[in-house]
Chain A
Amino acid sequence: GAGVSQSPSNKVTEKGKDVELRCDPISGHTALYWYRQRLGQGLEFLIYFQGNSAPDKSGLPSDRFSAERTGESVSTLTIQRTQQEDSAVYLCASSMTRATDTQYFGPGTRLTVL
């Protein structure tokens, strides 16, 4: 079946603009994660959704970052008033219900803030 998809693949924006990144999880996956990967570094956890439970936002770096997910479908990550340090690849992952289920990743969105 289809994997995790993300759009856009690449996004270039000017400092101060808002951007919205989209993630389509694997059908049937109730858990969804957003991670950030800065150049030459590992992935940093941003936010976690599990079904209809309240999301875990503990990894969001500032209040300029927010994310939404409706039910078990698409999620959007919004960055307001972008800064140059927001430049990174933003990766989305989904997994099935159980805590021990493997996370499957999308191809990411490369964000460049000029």
Chain B
Amino acid sequence: AQTVTQSQPEMSVQEAETVTLSCTYDTSESNYYLFWYKQPPSRQMILVIRQEAYKQQNATENRFSVNFQKAAKSFSLKISDSQLGDTAMYFCAFMSYGGATNKLIFGTGTLLAVQP
């Protein structure tokens, strides 16, 4: 069975600084995707970034980038130039594909607070 572990329940960062959120996962699958979702107090889950496991190049989306270490099964999220609007719960998620159901498996989340 696949598992996703986020070992940092809470983190804090000053506005304009850089912060890295950690995520590790366990799987025996070969074909999978990894995601970071953001959940602000509104509860809406918003996709931040996704990484295809077969790609060696790390995904980037503006101020958000990942450090994907496939052998170590590590998938960290780096947020540069942190903004107050980045305050939210961040979830790392795993999805294998090729089977009948492409469900997401989530970690327990990291609550990020951006301080002014």
A residues at B contact (CB < 8 Å): 31, 33, 35, 40-45, 48, 50, 56, 58-59, 89, 91, 93, 95, 99-100, 102-108, 110
A105 touches B45 (CB 8 A): yes
B103 touches A107 (CB 8 A): no
Counting contact residues on chain B (CB < 8 A from A), the size range is 20 to 34
A48 touches B103 (CB 8 A): yes
* Minimum-distance CB pairs A-B, first 8: A42-B106, A105-B45, A45-B103, A56-B101, A99-B97, A43-B106, A108-B43, A48-B101
B105 touches A45 (CB 8 A): yes
- Tell yes or no: B44 within 8 A of A by CB: yes
With the chains together, A43 CA to B113 CA distance in Å?
21
Which of the residues B4, B43, B103, B106 comes within 8 Å of A59, measured between beta carbons?
B103
B42 touches A107 (CB 8 A): yes
B100 touches A105 (CB 8 A): no
A91 to chain B minimum Cβ distance, whole angstroms, is 7
| Residues in A whose Cβ lies below 8 Å from that of B100 | 56
| Residues in A whose Cβ lies below 8 Å from that of B106 | 42-44
With the chains together, A31 CA to B97 CA distance in Å?
14
B98 touches A99 (CB 8 A): yes
Can you list 20 contacts pairing A with B, beta carbon distance less than 8 Å? A33-B104, A35-B104, A41-B108, A41-B109, A42-B108, A43-B91, A45-B105, A56-B100, A56-B101, A58-B101, A59-B103, A99-B97, A102-B47, A102-B50, A105-B37, A105-B45, A106-B44, A107-B42, A107-B44, A108-B43
B47 touches A104 (CB 8 A): yes
- Chain B 1-35 interface residues, beta-carbon cutoff 8 Å to A: 4, 33
With the chains together, A31 CA to B50 CA distance in Å?
19
| Residues in B whose Cβ lies below 8 Å from that of A31 | 102
B94 to chain A minimum Cβ distance, whole angstroms, is 11
A78 to chain B minimum Cβ distance, whole angstroms, is 20
A103 touches B104 (CB 8 A): yes
B9 to chain A minimum Cβ distance, whole angstroms, is 9
With the chains together, A43 CA to B103 CA distance in Å?
11
A26 to chain B minimum Cβ distance, whole angstroms, is 13
> What residue of chain A has the Cβ atom nearest to residue B47's Cβ?
A102
